Structure 1
Amino acid sequence: MKYVNLFLSFVLVVGLLSSCKSKNKPAKEEAKAEKGWVSLFDGKTSTGWRGYNSPAFPNAYWEIVDGCFHCRGIGKGDMTNTDLITEKKYSNFELSLEWNISQGGNSGIFIFAQEVPEKPIYMSAPEMQVIDNQNHPDAKLGVNGNRQAGSLYDMIPAVPQNAKPAGEWNQVGILSDNGRVVFKLNGENVVTFTLGTDEWKQMCANSKFKDWEWFVNTAKEGHIGLQDHGFEVWFRNIKIREL
């Protein structure tokens, strides 16, 4: 009986140690996954952001509320200095954020934006579409859904189309690696493209951007932008990891 008790005690100790290791493992993996990520928005101030083609933050059009950038939706939607851009430019990176669009709303997330004088941000920057698929008419236009949420606007539709409806939070991931770009929406890869390739140039030729030199020859380094399209939209938990 003594040896049986010793054996059972040994099994219990091994089991407890294994349990502790299994509990600690996810925490270590989570810490490793977060390594290198930097917050682009502290949820309280506009530090690190300003208006496109402007040295100032467009306070009349954006506010910070409940840890979010909130676009008030009072602009005309095609102004040249009410979109937000990062003060810093980025080339190879992983971007993560969440967005929530108002009913009937339209907005976008831009990458590689260049500040072209007196021209809107979308003249130079590819856009991940942010839109209410059910209620904004632009979502019904384009080809095969390439103006719906998560799409490379007017070029590549998001597949699968998994956007959540207006009033709900959508999670975005954007990977940029030496010209290759992947859009992720709500945990799924939905768009992939590579800048400067023959395929890219052909897509541009078949889109509304065909005559826009800055867009066709998109830079591989630029500002990250959030669009004021004249509708209410919220962005939060914005962070980046440079590669």
Structure 2
Amino acid sequence: MKRVFSLLLAGAFVFGMSCQSGQKKTTEEPEEKAAVEEAVGPNELTQAEKDQGWVLLFDGKTSNGWHSYGKESFPAGWQVVDGTLMCNGSGRGEAGAEDGGDIVTAKEYSNFHLKMDWKISEGGNSGIFYLGKEDPRFDKIYYTAPEMQVLDNERHPDAMLGKDGNRKAGSLYDLIPADPQNAKPAGEWNSIEIICYKGTVVHKQNGETVLEYHLWTEDWNNLVAGSKFPELNPEWANVAQSGVIALQDHGDDVWYRNIKIREL
């Protein structure tokens, strides 16, 4: 009887181990599949991102979905190069190139989560704008839109201007400094996120939240009143509730990629 019991026990142990092995294989397969799905290249979306509602604003191959500020065409001063949207620097600073200029999205956005990567040339300057309007009174997007600064902090003089570093990379230009200031040097890729929801705006840079502010509030109006923007446009503080995303031609080489957005 003891021998029979021992044989039954051994059989149960072997069966249990076999079941555990089968279960382990079953749980590992989805993980391996997920890992393959997540391994996408630049300017591509994972299946998880697609399921969450993310869409690409740049396909890595064409300028589709973008046009010159105030025009229907796409400027010759911008090119698609090696999977990036590149502005060819004119060396003319904010004046930009005669065949360049700011580029904007075809669609307007109100509540959104925006992501992209940027890389700046040595001594370079550019910017990422949102909630902007193509107002025929103005020739550039910054007359109506808040800006996340793109800058070579080590060489461009704008890094030393403004107040408390509010013109350095990641900052809300001329208004709120990025803290911490974690931008990578010229020639290296930086990742950013801008979240805008019912007036609350968050800037993230290289994985860290660097600032938060709230549009259309008394604090916001006071902040803008102490900046240079009222001289450019007395109505600048009245940022639109919906507007275009824009990339700035500031006369320097700059590259953008992985531009994606999710409406909230």
Report the TM-score when normalising by structure 1.
Answer: 0.92
Shift of 1:112: 1.0
Most deviating of 70-79 and 107-116: 70-79
In structure 2, the residue matched to 1:43 is 60
Gaps of 5+ in 2: 1-9, 39-45
Letter in 2 for 1:15: K
In structure 2, the residue matched to 1:105 is 124
RMSD: 2.1
Q: Are residue 239 (structure 1) and residue 240 (structure 2) matched?
A: no
Shift of 1:183: 0.9
How many residue pairs were aligned? Answer: 242
Distance in 2 (CA, whole Å) between partners of 1:231 and 1:8 is: 64
Shift of 1:13: 2.4
Gaps of 5+ in 1: none
Distance in 2 (CA, whole Å) between partners of 1:69 and 1:8 is: 55
Shift of 1:31: 3.3
Most deviating of 110-119 and 85-94: 110-119
Distance in 1 (CA, whole Å) between partners of 2:88 and 2:123 is: 14
In structure 2, the residue matched to 1:125 is 145
In structure 2, the residue matched to 1:72 is 88
What CA deviation, in whole Å up to 9, does each residue of 1:54-88 have, x standing for no partner? 221111x1111101111101163434971101111
Largest Rg, 1 or 2: 2
Report the TM-score when normalising by structure 2.
Answer: 0.85
Q: Which runs of 4+ in 1 moved over 4 A?
A: 21-30
Shift of 1:114: 1.1
Change (3 A) 1:219 1:74: same
Matches within 5 A, 1:27-66: 31-35=47-51, 36-59=53-76, 61-66=77-82
Distance in 1 (CA, whole Å) between partners of 2:49 and 2:71 is: 35
Letter in 2 for 1:43: G
Distance in 2 (CA, whole Å) between partners of 1:42 and 1:230 is: 24
Question: Does the CA-based 8 Å contact 1:162-1:185 persist in structure 2?
Answer: yes
Tell me the percent identity: 49
What secondary structure sits across from 1:216 in the alignment?
Answer: coil
In structure 1, the residue matched to 2:17 is 8
Question: Does the CA-based 8 Å contact 1:75-1:228 persist in structure 2?
Answer: no
Letter in 1 for 2:94: D
Distance in 2 (CA, whole Å) between partners of 1:10 and 1:120 is: 67
Distance in 1 (CA, whole Å) between partners of 2:199 and 2:86 is: 30
Q: 2:247 aligns with which of 208, 217, 226?
A: 226
Most deviating of 196-205 and 77-86: 77-86
Most deviating of 79-88 and 96-105: 79-88
What secondary structure sits across from 2:148 in the alignment?
Answer: strand
Question: Does the CA-based 8 Å contact 2:166-2:175 persist in structure 1?
Answer: yes
Change (3 A) 1:42 1:14: closer
Letter in 1 for 2:88: R
